[in-house]
């Protein structure tokens, strides 16, 4: 049940922030005999101070005050009291602003003209309930992220023991093993790596979604994270006899990015490219100055694989996207790779898109900010 | 030459056991501690050549142990390899600030851990 259940001696407290004394009187009169207590403040400063003292349940806010105008008024109340339900009072002429106010966090708005008791009471109650609902959603979102962070920590610990135990036997520390023992322990080992990768991905996603992904921007040459990514995929490229061609101009400006995250982006895109390219095929990585003067670098990873039909192309960056079975016979992933790549690119301030021609291959292109002295 | 001595600190006995087995196979002598207090007292009493230190420990956490040792003239030369299941960037930074020499995320590759140990011993 609601925790702010009002009773006769515990009325809900409404703070009216409004500079016209006539409106003080009007609102007062309208709420007389209702279950609300009303207080007023004739400028934003006084109102904010009153809110800070506590005990206010809902704010009726005029946006045009002596010390604050328009949406700024709302933003300042929101910043000081993010949990406060707000009903914006507007003149007839500024409904556009009223709607924007609701989009920016007010719970409701009321035109002053034609204001009636029933409407006022309803709006106040609605604002309180709506705010409560918004808080529940926010809280459950926060709990979801926390749950992912904690459970991934809890999952890693047993995974470590299993991996170490397998490593010991597989590394023949406990004595020689035969071919079949090696084969099946390798299966276990490989799948532990997959499981760890999934946990990493889930963590990344919870960080991207809660906007807690932190990146450390530094001027860097793209070739460094690219080479590290290519090196970590050597066994995959060897297995399928795929060659990766780099076309990076020597005068390419430095990027401004996080080296570890860029490596992660390259690994993910190259891994996909390898996955969808037939044996003996080619993968190309190229980079160029993106529209000179725009301070961005454009990087592409292209494969010579099956390609992606146009109807799929717009869905591939979505969370949990799975390639239709008809396009690949490889083991499916969790559908998180490209979603994370997009999150990583966007956290850098860049964007990513894909082009493809069925039967010829696909090309993923992303932009990254160039390093300029002003950016540092 | 005497065997090099390594102190392994992890409250997960299974993890401590596997690390101990592998390192003894590689020719090191191992001491094990399962909580922060035991770790600190063994580190000071036995003065090991290297410490493998988990972060989330009962009683005293790994960051604190690393800091206490790294700011103590008598022990600051002991290399410390931190182990953690946490991968928040801020945790890694915290680890670096305590003066730990290496930082390894669980689950890790045993060969990689052995290679890191050999880098210091």
- pLDDT-derived band at A334 (thresholds 50, 70, 90) equals low
Tell me, what's the pLDDT at A77? 92
Enter the tokens of residue B9: 């600190």
Q: How far is B15 from chain A (nearest CA, A)?
A: 5
Which of B11, B22, B106 would you mutate first to test chain A, the one with the most A CBs within 10 A? B106
**Shortest CB distance from B85 goes to which of A156, A192, A216?**
A156
pLDDT at A2: 42
Read off the pLDDT of each residue in B47-59 and give the average, rounded to a whole number.
Answer: 94
Query: Which DSSP string corresponds to A9-73?
Result: TBPEEEEEE-S-HHHHHHHHHHHTTSSEEEEEESSHHHHHHHHHHS---EEEEES-BTTB-HHHH
Least confident of A57-66, A257-266, A286-295, A348-357: A286-295
Domain ranges of chain B: 5-120
C-beta neighbour count of B36 within 10 angstroms? 22
- Helix/strand/coil for A340: helix
Mean pLDDT, rounded, for A194-209: 83
Report the residue from B18, B25, B89 with minimal CB separation from A164. B18
Q: Is B14 on the interface with A (CB under 8 A)?
A: yes
B65-76 pLDDT per residue, tens? 999 999 999 999
pLDDT above 60 for A7? no
Q: What is the mean pLDDT of residues B6-34?
A: 95
Of B15, B25, B87, which is closest to A161 when you measure between CB atoms?
A: B15
Binding-face residues of B in 18-57 toward A, CB within 8 A: 18-19, 21-22, 25
**pLDDT given at position A155:** 87
pLDDT tier for residue B29 given thresholds of 50, 70 and 90: very high
Burial class (CB in 10 A: 0-12, 13-18, 19+), A140: exposed
User: What is the architecture of the domain spanning B5-120?
Assistant: 3-Layer(aba) Sandwich (3.40)
Could you tell me the sign of the dihedral formed by the alpha carbons of A170, A174, A177, A180, in that order?
Answer: negative
State residue A302 phi and psi, 5-degree precision.
-120, 140
Q: For A219-245, what is the mean pLDDT?
A: 91
pLDDT digits (tens, 9 = 90+) for A136-190: 988 888 888 788 878 887 888 899 999 999 999 999 989 999 999 999 999 999 8
| Residue A210 pLDDT | 74
Size of interface A-B (CB pairs under 8 A): 59
CA dist A204 and A148 (Å) reads 10
Comparing alpha-carbon positions, the chain B residue that sits nearest to A200 is B87
User: CB A167 to CB B14 under 8 A?
Assistant: no
Instruction: Say which range, A21-25, A114-118, A359-363, B83-87, has the weakest mean pLDDT.
Output: B83-87
Return the ∠ at Cα A257 (arms to A251 and A261), rounded to 5°: 120
CB contact under 8 A, A192 and B107: yes
Q: Which residues pair with B83 in a beta bridge?
A: B54, B104
Query: Which 8-state DSSP code applies to residue B2?
Result: P
- Which secondary-structure segment (H or E) carries A288? strand A282-290
Which comes out higher in pLDDT, residue A304 or A146? Answer: A304
Query: What pLDDT, in 10s, does the model give residues A30-73?
Result: 888 888 889 999 999 999 999 999 999 999 999 889 988 888 89
- Judged on CB neighbours under 10 Å (0-12, 13-18, 19+), A35 is middle
The 3 state secondary structure assigned to B31-60 is EEECCHHHHHHHHHHHCCCEEEEECCCCCC
- Asked if the model's pLDDT at residue B34 lies above 90, the reply is yes
Instruction: Compute φ and ψ for B34, nearest 5 degrees.
Output: -110, -5
The pLDDT of residue A259 is above 50: yes
What is the average pLDDT score of chain A? 86
Taking the C-alpha atoms of residue A44 and residue A73, their distance in angstroms, rounded to an integer, is: 7
Q: For an interface test with B, give the residue of A148, A149, A160 to mutate (most B CBs within 10 A).
A: A160
pLDDT band with cut points at 50, 70 and 90 for residue A1: very low
- Write out pLDDT tens, residues B1-13: 689 999 999 999 9
Burial classification of residue A106, based on how many CB atoms lie within 10 Å of its CB (0-12 exposed, 13-18 middle, 19 or more buried):
buried
Q: CA of B17, closest CA in chain A: separation in Å?
A: 9
Closest C-alpha among A227, A216, A203, A219 to residue A254: A219
What is the C-alpha to C-alpha distance for residues B66 and A301, in angstroms, rounded to an integer?
Answer: 43
Task: Please tell me the distance from the alpha carbon of residue A84 to that of residue A80, in angstroms, as a whole number.
Answer: 9
Chain B neighbors of A159, CB-CB under 8 A: 106-107
CB contact under 8 A, A157 and B85: yes
Q: Is the pLDDT of residue A98 over 90?
A: no
């Amino acid at each position: 049940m609601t925790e702010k259940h009002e009773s006769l001696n515990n009325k809900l407290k409404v703070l009216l922030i409004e500079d016209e004394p006539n409106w003080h009187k009007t609102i007062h009169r309208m709420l007389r005999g209702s279950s609300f207590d009303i207080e007023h403040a004739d400028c934003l400063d006084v109102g904010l101070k009153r809110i800070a003292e506590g005990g206010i349940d809902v704010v009726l806010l005029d946006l045009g005050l002596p010390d604050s105008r328009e949406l700024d008024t709302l933003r300042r109340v929101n910043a000081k009291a993010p949990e406060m339900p707000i009903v914006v009072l507007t003149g007839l002429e500024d409904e556009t602003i009223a709607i924007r106010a609701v989009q920016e966090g007010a719970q409701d708005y009321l035109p002053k003209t034609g204001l009636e008791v029933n409407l006022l009471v309803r709006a106040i109650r609605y604002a309180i309930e709506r705010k409560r609902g918004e808080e529940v959603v926010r809280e459950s979102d926060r709990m979801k992220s926390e749950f992912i962070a904690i459970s991934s920590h809890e999952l890693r610990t047993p995974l470590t023991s299993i991996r170490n135990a397998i490593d010991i036997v597989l590394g023949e520390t406990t004595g020689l093993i035969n071919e079949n023992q090696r084969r099946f322990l390798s299966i276990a080992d490989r799948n532990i790596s997959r499981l760890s990768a999934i946990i990493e991905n889930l963590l990344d996603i919870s960080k991207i979604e809660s906007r807690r992904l932190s990146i450390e921007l530094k001027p860097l040459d793209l070739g460094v994270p690219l080479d590290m990514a290519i090196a970590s995929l050597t066994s995959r490229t060897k297995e399928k006899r795929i060659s990766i061609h780099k076309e990076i101009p020597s005068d390419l400006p430095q990027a401004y990015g996080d080296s570890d995250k860029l490596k992660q982006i390259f690994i993910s895109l190259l891994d996909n490219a390898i996955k969808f390219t037939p044996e003996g095929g080619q993968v190309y990585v190229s980079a160029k100055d993106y529209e000179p003067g725009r301070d961005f670098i454009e990087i592409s990873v292209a494969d010579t694989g099956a390609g992606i039909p146009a109807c799929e192309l717009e869905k591939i960056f979505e969370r949990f996207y799975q390639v239709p079975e008809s396009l690949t016979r490889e083991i499916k992933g969790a559908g998180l790779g490209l979603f994370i790549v997009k999150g990583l690119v966007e956290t850098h301030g860049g964007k990513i898109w894909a082009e493809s021609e069925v039967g010829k291959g696909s090309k993923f292109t992303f932009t990254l900010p160039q390093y300029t002295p002003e950016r540092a | 030459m005497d065997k090099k001595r390594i102190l392994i600190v992890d409250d997960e006995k299974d993890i401590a056991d596997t690390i101990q087995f592998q390192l003894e196979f590689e020719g090191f002598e191992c001491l094990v501690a399962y909580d922060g207090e035991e770790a600190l007292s063994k580190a000071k009493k036995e003065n090991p050549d290297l410490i493998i230190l988990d972060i989330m420990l009962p009683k005293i956490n790994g960051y604190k142990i690393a800091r206490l040792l790294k700011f103590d003239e008598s022990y600051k030369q002991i290399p410390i390899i931190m182990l953690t299941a946490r991968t928040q960037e801020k945790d890694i930074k915290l680890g670096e600030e305590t003066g730990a020499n290496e930082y390894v995320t669980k689950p890790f590759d045993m060969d990689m851990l052995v290679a890191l140990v050999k880098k210091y011993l």
